[in-house]
Structure 1
Amino acid sequence: MPLIVTPNQLARRAEFYSQVAALLNAGMGMIQALEMIRHKPPASSYRAPLDHIIANIKEGSTFTDSLMTVGRWVPSFDLALIHAAEQSGRLPESLRLLAEYYQQRAQLVRNFMAQVAYPVFLVHMALLIFPTSLLPELVWQGQAAQFIRQKLTVFVPLYLGVFLLALGAQGRRGEHWRSLVERFLRPVPALGRARHGMALARLSAALEALVSAGVSIVDGWQLAADASGSPALRRAVAPWKARLQAGETPGEMVARSATFPELFSNLYNTGEVSGQLDDALKRLHRYYEEESSRLMSAFIRWFSMLIYLLIAAAIGYQVISFWKNYYGNILQGF
């Protein structure tokens, strides 16, 4: 997998699974389908893994075993779902579920990036404008070098810090950092609930896909918690396996866990008791996706307003300081 996962990479993964599912449904064999995709893959980086997978299938390996030979190119979540689908004979349907899952993840990331774009722009404008003492020298005296040097000392460490934070938060290697960020942001009004809602939406979508593919509910919860991206959810679900195998139900576990909201617990238990768990998980995914988007929008509105107020206060301070010094110099002349 790449260092940092982007929406386009998630969308290309969705396209790959969708193409394989469509070709299998059209009556093609797995080798023929993969060879056709290899000629025009979602991205050029797919050709080398596809060559390896095709060669292994020709030697007699299953699709799952062949995927496992390409290292971390395929996440463990995908492998578990595909393995269960091969055993149950529902591979095309499961590949479509994976395609929908990655398309939803890509859309979720795009929506988040669109929401934070304006506040990020405001922060950049504020960093460019202040300190204002450099602007007269830039405009009237043309001293661009000093202005550029000062801005580089601000933007380069800022971009480097954001890159390293994003890189460190990817996957298992960033578990400690992700946990710290989650604990730090959880008390923040709106933002903490929005991030937790996003994690619950991802967990619901992943669990619904796994259960529909035939993965056992015991393994499904562990894999879905990993797919949620939340260390808190992963820690809450990790001890469940032994108790689930002993006969307790996931609904009972969810009800006892403080990590899951009451709404999630009630709806999940209703779906579990009524035998309509897949429908309940779809509704949970839609609800938490919409709720987290609403909360994130509210947080961004208040954050943007705060940036506006800080810029206005700084400009007001500069104006007052200018006129105070101006009239002070005049009064000193009398």
Structure 2
Amino acid sequence: MIFNYTARDETGKTVAATLEAKDQKEAMEKLRSMKLIVTKITEGKGIVVTGKKKFQLFGGGKIKSDDIIIFSRQLATMIDSGLTLVNSLDILSRQAKSPLFRDVILKLKEDVEISGQPLSTALSKHPKIFSALFTNMVRAGEISGTLDSALNQLASYMEASGAIAKKIKSAAMYPVLIGTMSIGIGLALLLFVVPMFAGIYKEFGGELPGPTKILIFLSNLLKKYFIVLGVILFGGAGALFQFSKTPRGKLFIDKTMLKIPIVGELVRKIAISKVTRTLGTLVKSGVQILEALEIVGKTAGNKVVEEAIEIAKNRVRDGESITKPLADTGVFPPMVTEMISVGEETGELEKMLTKVADFYDQEVDAAVTGLTATLEPLMIGILGVGIGGMVIALYLPIFKMATVVGG
């Protein structure tokens, strides 16, 4: 939902703009976090955004994460060259290939030029496009006078994260494709081919082999209860999907994922890579450690890791260093916490976090490659045994008759 609001900032200046939130309560919370005193807020029309990697606006077109990376790089270069922020945004709006992203950039320019808002405040009005990580790093860059550096770091972070995501997605495509093909071929055999052979065998009469009987029974069962089984299957999948959206469901699924052999270790490595890279990037940009941990927890991608970060954050707030709370959660391996400890002691925490992230990126890459190499022959074997077994069971009576005739 989009809300139009009028508010006063810390200097007493009146600000009128729009904000996206799921309801008015969330909108008010966001405005309070921006240190604005709201005088009026109403539901209105504006940009509607959905999705994670691609963002849908106005019911058509998409903004890709690559667009945001290019935007960050180009804006950093222009600012470093001495161009004003308003001029830079104006140039970028004219260069944008996506007309929808152009509208977003023009809105940013309007908020900065006309409303006099910092870029970070303007970005925070589009949370589905510019994450809390993005907004806070820009804010830290504005405060420290290193906005160009912060934008370049953001682009590098997004590129590194995107590379891992693409690797995982690419590795998952093959098993999904083989699995889909197996199910499709199996259903086609049971629904169309087996009934045809069953009719032929019925005309000939005689006793059928056991495997053939089982195959014909499964075919008849599937044909008779196809709609019922479909409703149960899709209903169950829908219920599971809805459950996975609840906090309890997310926690249950994430805990289960971590316990699955091989896959669980890969999920853990991905989470550690993401957490350490995000935290290192934020600390390097000058974001306070508590605020950084707050953002890291929300972007961890795993509820178990998110809860561990939340526990660590509360203990850091109470005066502890970051190392022991993270170690006590049991989520992070000793090597990770030891390197973080060294980083704290030497004053180079962000460097150590980046080294940990780079190490785990390599671990994830090796694990994904190994998993793909294992899954490929396994999936082919399953396809061969499953479909091949059905075909053999289907032709057993013919083989039997050929043997009898030959005898």
Q: What's the TM-score bracket when you normalise by the shorter of the two chains? A: 0.7 to 0.9
Moved over 4 A (4+): 133-137, 173-177, 330-334
Report which stretch shifted further, 46-55 or 236-245: 236-245
Match of 2:390 in 1: 318
- Whether the aligned pair in 1 keeps the contact of 2:52 and 2:128 (CA below 8 Å) is no
- Whether the aligned pair in 2 keeps the contact of 1:202 and 1:285 (CA below 8 Å) is yes
Report which stretch shifted further, 5-14 or 190-199: 5-14
Alignment of 1:233 with 2:288, yes or no, is no
- Whether the aligned pair in 1 keeps the contact of 2:311 and 2:325 (CA below 8 Å) is no
* Counterpart selection for 1:212 from 284, 290, 302: 284
Aligned runs of 1:81-96 on 2, under 5 Å? 81-96=137-152
SS, match of residue 260 in structure 1: coil
* Counterpart selection for 2:343 from 256, 267, 271: 271
- Whether the aligned pair in 1 keeps the contact of 2:308 and 2:326 (CA below 8 Å) is no
Match of 2:50 in 1: 2
Match of 1:122 in 2: 178
Match of 1:32 in 2: 87
Q: Tell me the C-alpha RMSD between the 2 structures.
A: 3.2
Q: Which amino acid aligns with 1:265?
A: T
Match of 1:298 in 2: 370
* Counterpart selection for 1:309 from 368, 381, 393: 381
Shift of 1:168: 9.1
Match of 1:15 in 2: 70
Match of 2:6 in 1: none
Distance 1:319 1:70, change over 3 A: closer
Shift of 1:240: 3.1
Shift of 1:327: 4.2
Provide the C-alpha distance between the structure 2 equivalents of 1:176 and 1:36, rounded to a whole number of angstroms: 46
Match of 1:48 in 2: 103
Distance 1:70 1:315, change over 3 A: closer
Q: Deviations over 1:4-57 (max 9, x none)?
A: 425982222211111110110111000000000000125332122222211111
- Unaligned 5+ segments in structure 1 are 140-149
Provide the C-alpha distance between the structure 2 equivalents of 1:198 and 1:53, rounded to a whole number of angstroms: 33
- Whether the aligned pair in 2 keeps the contact of 1:115 and 1:300 (CA below 8 Å) is yes
Provide the C-alpha distance between the structure 2 equivalents of 1:261 and 1:253, rounded to a whole number of angstroms: 13
Shift of 1:317: 2.3
Provide the C-alpha distance between the structure 2 equivalents of 1:255 and 1:313, rounded to a whole number of angstroms: 46
Provide the C-alpha distance between the structure 2 equivalents of 1:311 and 1:245, rounded to a whole number of angstroms: 54
Which has the higher relative contact order, 1 or 2, with Cα contacts under 8 A spaced 6 or more apart? 1
Provide the C-alpha distance between the structure 2 equivalents of 1:37 and 1:168, rounded to a whole number of angstroms: 42
* Counterpart selection for 2:156 from 100, 109, 117: 100
Bigger CA radius of gyration: 2
TM-score w.r.t. length of structure 1: 0.83
Shift of 1:134: 5.6
Q: Deviations over 1:223-249 (max 9, x none)?
A: 122222121111011133343233210
Shift of 1:112: 1.1
Q: Which amino acid aligns with 2:336?
A: F
Provide the C-alpha distance between the structure 2 equivalents of 1:43 and 1:161, rounded to a whole number of angstroms: 35
- Whether the aligned pair in 2 keeps the contact of 1:52 and 1:70 (CA below 8 Å) is no
Report which stretch shifted further, 323-332 or 48-57: 323-332
SS, match of residue 88 in structure 2: helix
* Counterpart selection for 1:256 from 306, 310, 328: 328
Report which stretch shifted further, 226-235 or 303-312: 303-312
Provide the C-alpha distance between the structure 2 equivalents of 1:115 and 1:106, rounded to a whole number of angstroms: 14
**Larger strand fraction of residues:** 2
SS, match of residue 73 in structure 1: coil
Alignment of 1:73 with 2:129, yes or no, is yes
Provide the C-alpha distance between the structure 1 equivalents of 2:395 and 2:128, rounded to a whole number of angstroms: 63
Distance 1:60 1:117, change over 3 A: same
Aligned runs of 1:155-166 on 2, under 5 Å? none
Count of aligned pairs: 316
- Unaligned 5+ segments in structure 2 are 1-48, 56-62, 197-225
**Larger helix fraction of residues:** 1
Q: Which amino acid aligns with 2:370?
A: A
- Whether the aligned pair in 1 keeps the contact of 2:185 and 2:387 (CA below 8 Å) is no
